[in-house]
Amino acid sequence: MLDSIINAFTKGDLADLNSKMLHSAYWGQHNAKFYGSEKLNMILGNWFALTGKCTVLTHQTIKQNNHYVVHLTFEPTNKTGIINYVFWLETNQKMLKSVLAIVDTVQLAAVNKGDTEKVSNNLPATDPLVISDYDQQDHLQGDIAWPSSLIGKQTRNVEILDQWWAIWSQKQLANINTLYNDNAVINLPGDKHPQKRDQLFEFVLSKINTLTRIFTQLEDIAIDGQDVAIKWFLDGDEGDDKIRLPFITLLKIENNRITVDTTICDILAFNKNFSASRVFKQITA
């Protein structure tokens, strides 16, 4: 699986990747779902149009049961900068059933001389929000999900994951200093370089101060030793608009502290869908 994705996004080998996907499989990216090899070819075509040939600087995989999460950091051959790309694969152990991919589109714009308009024009229209997705926000049916609800209270590092989730779900910003190592590497959406705890504090604060009726939703968690991948949403109201912002966060936990946090979201796809939003105003890599 790893080689198939790398070869597709560095060499344009669509055939090998397509051979790994079930006929019913879909590829989710830029807040839209795509079916069929023609649509996958469109994604790769847009990628190479914006990056040219590129190499993989670093890669990370997290495997658990049918989950296979791949984090790749690309470097275009003839352009300056890096691009973080995360692929959340659902498999039957042999074939791909679905892919959720999030690319840091602000970093993608940065390697194109900061031309956010060029990247945005290449993005497809997003799928419409389904109002029933907000039923839990408007009419809570049960307990709010915590990591311990999904992975069990006996799982390694579960208390740390619950405390991490409280930063977003309960606005417990004080947990940043207690959970994160002093020299933690924190990669935030759109940034060229790793940040420190203070920048993470400001990032979270900017979101919770911009939105009202915030509701955070866990979708899935995959754990592989010290590495954890978390797929989640930030829902909320901004004026008269309901917004939804999908994230994937990758954590490394060592000696009961978070030492690496890489959080990815598709900022330009969000801005294209919510053009009046101030959640990511004037953010550049």
Is residue 139 scored above 90 in pLDDT? no
42: closest CA among 27, 55, 52? 27
pLDDT at 132: 56
Is residue 131 scored above 70 in pLDDT? no
257 and 220 co-located in one domain: yes
28's tokens: 């989710």
Alpha carbon distance 89, 105 (integer Å): 20
233: closest CA among 244, 241, 243? 244
Q: Is residue 199 part of a domain?
A: yes
pLDDT at 57: 96
pLDDT at 134: 53
Average pLDDT over the chain reads: 91
CA dist 107 to 73, 124, 252, Å? Answer: 11, 18, 22
Q: Is residue 230 part of a domain?
A: yes
Strands of 133-211, DSSP E: 180-187
108 and 197 co-located in one domain: no
pLDDT at 125: 81
Beta bridge partners of 60: 71
How confident is the model over 221-240, as a mean pLDDT? 95
111 and 20 co-located in one domain: yes
The string of DSSP letters for 207-249 reads: HHHH-EEEEEEEEEEEEETTEEEEEEEEEEEETTEEEEEEEEE
Q: Is residue 50 part of a domain?
A: yes
200 and 115 co-located in one domain: no
DSSP H or E run through 120? helix 116-122
167 and 264 co-located in one domain: yes
pLDDT at 138: 53
- Write down which residue in 122, 155, 176 finishes a domain: 122
Query: Residue with structure tokens 């397509």?
Result: 18
More confident residue, 145 or 160: 160
156 and 267 co-located in one domain: yes
Phi, psi of 230 (to 5 degrees): -130, 125
Alpha carbon distance 252, 11 (integer Å): 30
Alpha carbon distance 31, 124 (integer Å): 9
Query: pLDDT-derived band of residue 38, with 50, 70 and 90 as boundaries?
Result: confident
Helix 2-11 vs helix 37-51: angle between axes, to the nearest 10 degrees? 60
Q: pLDDT per residue over 81-129, tens digit each?
A: 999 999 999 999 889 999 999 999 999 999 999 999 999 999 988 877 6
Q: What is the DSSP letter of 23?
A: E
pLDDT at 129: 64
pLDDT at 130: 63
Contact of 215 with 178, CB cutoff 8 Å = no
% of the chain exceeding 90 in pLDDT: 76
CATH code, domain with 258: 3.10.450.50
How confident is the model over 223-230, as a mean pLDDT? 97
% of the chain exceeding 70 in pLDDT: 93
Instruction: Say how many C-beta atoms besides its own lie within 10 A of residue 126's C-beta.
Output: 16
Alpha carbon distance 219, 114 (integer Å): 32
Q: pLDDT per residue over 63-78, tens digit each?
A: 999 999 999 999 999 8
- Write down which residue in 89, 122, 155 finishes a domain: 122
Query: pLDDT-derived band of residue 159, with 50, 70 and 90 as boundaries?
Result: very high
Alpha carbon distance 162, 258 (integer Å): 13
In the chain, the number of structural domains is 2
Would you call 68 helix, strand, or coil by DSSP?
strand
Task: Tell me the residue range of the domain where 43 lies.
Answer: 2-122
Q: Is residue 283 part of a domain?
A: no
Report the amino acid identity of residue 276: A
165 and 267 co-located in one domain: yes
Alpha carbon distance 114, 235 (integer Å): 28
